[in-house]
Amino acid sequence: MMSRTLRGGLLAGMLMTSPAVAGTLKVSASDPAAYHTVQAAVDALPDTGGDIDIAPGTYREKIVVAKNGVHLHGTGAKPDDTVLVYGDGASNAGGTFKSYSVLASGDDFSASNLTIQNDYWLNPDNKPSQAVALNLTGDRAVLTHVRLLGHQDTLYANKGTAGRMSRQYFSDCYIEGHVDFIFGNAKAYFKNCHIHGLAHQSVMYTAQSKNSPTEDSAYVFDHCTLTAEAGAQDIALGRAWRPYATVIFLDTDMQANIIKAGWREWTPGKTNTLPFAYYAEYRSTGPGANPTGREPYSLQLTDAQAASWRLDAFFKGDTAWIHQETKREAK
């Protein structure tokens, strides 16, 4: 007869390798009954996804979430308590888009109360390189109380495979970096987020990459706060990675020392993107606001124009996926 100890060990092994059934999976570095890596828990979920609670701690791993309906939640008192981190850069990972710490390509992905970090730049032996913390391309993604930490190219908010648009919603998040650190071609809405520029000779908060006037993509920042370290220089709201870049700041508190023009050319003297980009502000406040002295091609919106960029209008009334996730986090 099989011993109780052996039988229990085999059962535990089966649970760790077989697809999970309904219920919330646990991740903990110290709990023997939990998964010890986030990736192991993601792999154990059924194809329909599920919930993963992650205990406080630092999880150094490169995470891929390709399944739909995966929900990551840090169980600490604050987002700083649960850190998902890796240290790849474009120079060693095979390109910018492979340098991520977390790749979320599945639809209906959510993350809350945790930190996603790429610490490549913190190693003094590494040469400067793009280094993505979160590569987000799934549709209907919701991030709440998440910290995204990096330097160059921190958040890649982009379309999915075959050019399918990705709708993304960020609420009460903290995002930091310096060069082009929120970049890509998603339809992304940032509400009550803190965007922070790190010390660098040139800081660009955004590098949106809408490539055609017919694409339904944009970055909207609604009631956000922009700050920067004292060593941050030449701070711009954005530059156009592709010629039809679309970025709107609504009721934003601009505490950073932003350049008077607000926006800048992709490569001054070499490219000509500003006449085609849609760069706009509405009721910006703070030391970085300069409504009368902005780049001539940018816009200061009227009340009616601003209303067309508010949440419900931006997503054309299809916001049930946002409210559903908000209710989940409130429980």
- pLDDT tens track for 278-288: 999 999 999 99
Domain 4-330 has CATH 2.40.30.10: no
Is the pLDDT at 306 greater than 90, yes or no?
A: yes
Q: Mean pLDDT over all residues of the chain?
A: 93
- Among the listed residues 53, 139, 153, 253, the single catalytic one is 153
Strands 134-136 and 203-204: unpaired
Confidence band (pLDDT; 50, 70, 90) for 19?
low
- Burial tier of 22 (Cβ tally within 10 Å: 0-12, 13-18, 19+): exposed
Beta bridge partners of 203: 235
- pTM over the 0.85 mark: yes
Q: For the chain, first and last CA: distance in Å?
A: 46
Q: Binning pLDDT at 50, 70 and 90, where does residue 10 land?
A: very low
Q: Is 318 a catalytic residue?
A: no
For residue 113, pLDDT over 70 is answered with: yes
pLDDT of 111 higher than 90: yes
Residue 15 confidence (pLDDT) above 80: no
User: What pLDDT, on a 0 to 100 scale, did the predictor assign at position 325?
Assistant: 82
Q: pLDDT band for 326, please (50, 70, 90 cuts).
A: confident
Instruction: Examine the pLDDT at 203 and tell me if it is beyond 50.
Output: yes
Of 180, 216, 253, 312, the catalytic one is 180
Enumerate the domain spans of the chain: 4-330
* pLDDT for 7 beyond 70: no
Residue 82 has pLDDT above 50, yes or no: yes
pLDDT at 13 over 70: no
**Mean pLDDT, residues 265-273 taken together:** 96
Whole-number Å distance between alpha carbons of 97 and 84: 18
Q: How far is CA 305 from CA 92, 135, 138, 248, 250, in A?
A: 44, 31, 29, 11, 11
Q: Which pLDDT value is given to residue 2?
A: 41
pLDDT above 70: residue 196: yes
Catalytic site residue 153? yes
